[in-house]
A and B are shown apart, each in its own frame.
Chain A
Amino acid sequence: MNGSLRDAFEDLAAEARPVDLAARVTRGARRRRQRRVGAVAVATLALVLGTTVVLGRVDQVRPASPGKAYDVFWADDQSLPRYMHYAATVGSTARAEQGTGPVDAAALSPDGRKVALVVGQTVDVLVLDGARRTVEGFALPAADNFPEIAWAPDNRRVAVTDPSDPGITSAGFWVLDTVTGESRYIRHGHLGAGLGWAPDGQTLAVSAVDDRGDPAGIDLVPLDGGPVRRLGAAERWLLASAYSWSPDGTRLVVLDNGGTSAESFVVDVATGSQIGGALPGGRYVWRGPDRLAVERIDGLVETGLDGREIRVLYPFGRTGGHYRVAVRPGS
C-alpha cells in the first residue's frame, strides 16, 4: 500500500514548479523582521504606556549609568510610525548574541518594575528588573512560533505559550518563577493564543481550539490541574487574545482579531456571556469596576464598558523615553 501511495505522492509533488527563492528569502527575512519588531513595538508601547500611565508607576523603571546595559527604548517624536527598539549589550558574554535578536514578545510586570522579553527562536526569557538593576535570563525548551508572555499578579511568575502546534496534545504553556528559576509545563491540548492571569494568580484564560485547530472559545485553565472550564461563543470570539481580568475576577475583556475587523468584548466569567455590545478593537486594561483604558492612535483613552470615551488620559505625540537598566556584574 505504501509504495503505491508514495508513487501517487511523487506524481503529485512533481507538479511543483522549481523557482529560485534565494533572493526572495534574503529580502523577505529582512521585511519580516522589520514587521515583527514593529508589531512588538506597538504592542509593547501600549503595554508600557498603558501600565505606566494608568498605574502611575513610570518612575519605577529607573535610569542607570550608560555602559553595559539592556536598553528598552521607545520614541514618539511625532514622526510616524512610532517604534520601539530593543538593544542588548550584555557585556561580552554569550548572552549578548541572544539579546540582540528580535524580540518576539514583551510584557511589563503589573507593578511596573520589570520587563520580561522573549527573544530568539528558542525561547529565552529575559527579565529586566528596574529596581534591582539586573537582567536575568531563563531558557525554556519551547518551540519558536508566536510565543506570548504574561506576568502573574504576584509580579514573580510569567506564563509563556508554546503554540508550536495548536490543537494537539503537546501544546501548552510554561509557568516560570523568575525568582527561583523553576518552571512548570502546563499541558493544554486545545491551546490557541492569548494569556490572561486571573487576579488570584491560580487560573489562566487562554483561547481554545478544537481538534481541527479551529477557534473554539475561551478556556479557563486552573494551574492546580483542576478541570478546564470553557466559555463560549466560538463564532464570535474567533481569535481571542489580550485578556484583561477585572480586579474582582468577575469579568474579562478580550480582543478578537478573527473577524473582518478587530473588536473587543467584555465577558461575564460566571455565565460565559458577553456583556453589552462590541467595543472598538484594542488592548484594554481595567481602571476600576466600570472603567477601561485603551490605546488609540492619538493617545491613551479612558472609556466606559460600552466603549464610550470618558477622557483622554495621555495624548500621544509628546512622549518618548529611554530606559537603561544596568547589568549585574558577572551576569
Chain B
Amino acid sequence: MTAPTFDDFVRTRTPGLLRVAYLLTGEQHAAEDLVQSALERTAGRWRHLVRNDSADGYVRTVMYRLQVDRWRRRAKFAEQVTAAVPDGAGPDPYGAADTRLALRAALARLTPRQRAVLVLRFFEDLGEARTAEVLGCSAGTVKSQTALALRRLREGAPELADLVGNGVGA
C-alpha cells in the first residue's frame, strides 16, 4: 500500500483539526494559525511519523501543546487577534445560538490549559490518562484542571448550568 503524502494528510485532516482549534482559540484566524503551526511541525517529521503511523496523534498533541504554550506567544505579540467585536448579541429565538454564545464567552475566560482539558475530555471524549498524555502532564493535573474549569464555566455562565452540572468535577 502506498504511504499517504503530506498533502493528502493536510487535506483530509484540516477540517477536523480546525474544529478543535476553533474550540481551543475561539477565533477563526487564530485557529487557522494554530493548525498551520502544528502541520508545519508535522511536516518536519513526516517520514518518521508515516513510518510509525503516528501522524494523527502527533499533530493533535503538538496543537494542544502549542495552544497551552500560549503565554510565550502572548509576550511576543501584544495584540490578540479577534474577528468579532466585543459587543454582545441580543436575545435569540433559538436556544442553541444563545448556548453557543454563552459557551464561547465562558471558554474565553478560561486559561489555555483549562480550555484544552475541557476540549480533550468533553469534545474529543478522551479519558483522564489519555488527556494527560496529550498535554504532557499528570492525570492528577487533568483532574484538578477539569474541576477548576467546570467550576469557572458554572460561575462565568450560570445559564450553562444544565450542561455543566452542579456537582460534577467540583
Size band of the interface chain A makes with B: 35 or more
When the two chains form their complex, are residues B113 and A167 in contact, meaning their CB atoms are under 8 A apart? yes
Say yes or no: is B147 at the interface (Cβ < 8 Å to chain A).
no
CA distance A193 to B40 in the complex (A): 23
Chain B residues with CB under 8 A of A101:
44
Identify whether the interface residues of A are mostly helix, strand, loop, or mixed: loop
CA distance A101 to B46 in the complex (A): 13
B136 pairs with A22, CB closer than 8 A: no
Question: Cβ of B100: which chain A residues have Cβ within 8 Å of it?
Answer: 8, 11-12, 15
- Is A214's CB within 8 Å of the partner chain B? yes
Q: Say yes or no: is A111 at the interface (Cβ < 8 Å to chain B).
A: no
Q: Is A163 an interface residue (CB 8 A)?
A: yes
A21 adjacent to B20 (CB under 8 Å): no
Q: Given A16-B31, A19-B14, A164 and B39 touching (CB < 8 A)?
A: no
Check A6/B125 contact, CB under 8 A, given A13-B19, A238-B75. yes
Q: Looking at the assembled complex, report how far the CB atom of B147 sits from the nearest CB atom of chain A, in whole angstroms.
A: 13
Residues of B within 8 A of A20 (CB): 11, 14
Whether a CB of chain B sits under 8 angstroms from the CB of A223 is no
- Determine whether the beta carbon of A19 is less than 8 Å from that of B122: no
Taking CB atoms, residues of chain A closer than 8 Å to B129 are: none
A166 within 8 Å of B by Cβ?
A: yes
In the bound complex, residues from chain B placing their C-beta under 8 Å from that of A76 are none
| Pairwise interchain contact B35-A21, C-beta atoms closer than 8 A | yes
Asked if A260 is an interface residue, CB under 8 A from chain B, the answer is: yes
Q: Which residues in B have their C-beta under 8 angstroms from that of A143? A: 65, 136
Q: Contact partner of B135 among A15, A29, A165, A239, CB < 8 A?
A: A165
B45 near A121: Cβ-Cβ < 8 Å: yes
Which of B45, B68, B72 has the largest count of A CB atoms less than 10 A from its CB? B72
Would A32 and B137 count as touching, CB distance under 8 A?
no
The residue on A at minimum CB distance from B167 is A1
Select one of A15, A25, A214 contacting B71, CB under 8 A: A214
Q: In the complex, which residues of chain B have a beta carbon less than 8 angstroms from the beta carbon of A75?
A: none
Give the total of B residues in contact with A, Cβ under 8 Å. 58
Q: Is the interface of B mostly helix, strand, loop or mixed?
A: helix
Q: CB of B162 within 8 A of chain A?
A: yes
B28 near A16: Cβ-Cβ < 8 Å:
yes
Chain A contacts with B in 1-53, Cβ cutoff 8 A: 1-2, 4-6, 8-22, 24-26, 28-29, 32-33
Counting chain A CB atoms within 10 Å of each CB, the highest count among B32, B40, B45, B107 belongs to: B40
Q: Are B163 and A22 touching (Cβ within 8 A)?
A: no
Option from B66, B96, B113 in Cβ contact (under 8 Å) with A213: B113
Shortest Cβ distance from residue B120 to the other chain A in the assembled complex, whole angstroms: 11
Interface residue A144 (Cβ < 8 Å from any Cβ of B): yes
**Given A20-B14, A169-B141 in contact, is the A6-B69 Cβ separation under 8 Å?**
no
* Contact partners of B54 in chain A: CB under 8 A: none
| Inter-subunit contact B111/A212 (CB<8 Å) | yes
CB-nearest residue of chain A to B153: A5
Within 8 A of A (CB), among B122-145: 122-123, 125, 135-138, 141
B123 touches A166 (CB 8 A): no
Given A21-B14, A193-B72, A209-B71, decide whether A29 and B165 contact each other with a Cβ distance below 8 A. Answer: no
List the A side residues contacting B68 at CB < 8 Å: 165, 213
A202 interfacial by beta-carbon distance below 8 Å: no
Report whether A28 and B14 are in contact in the complex, using a CB–CB cutoff of 8 Å: no
- B7 an interface residue at 8 Å Cβ cutoff? yes
How many angstroms from the CA of A279 to the CA of B96 in the assembled complex? Answer: 54
6 new A-B contacts at CB < 8 Å, known A13-B22, A22-B11, A169-B138: A4-B163, A12-B107, A16-B19, A18-B15, A164-B65, A239-B72
The 5 tightest CB contacts between A and B, nearest first, are A16-B22, A13-B19, A29-B40, A1-B165, A9-B123
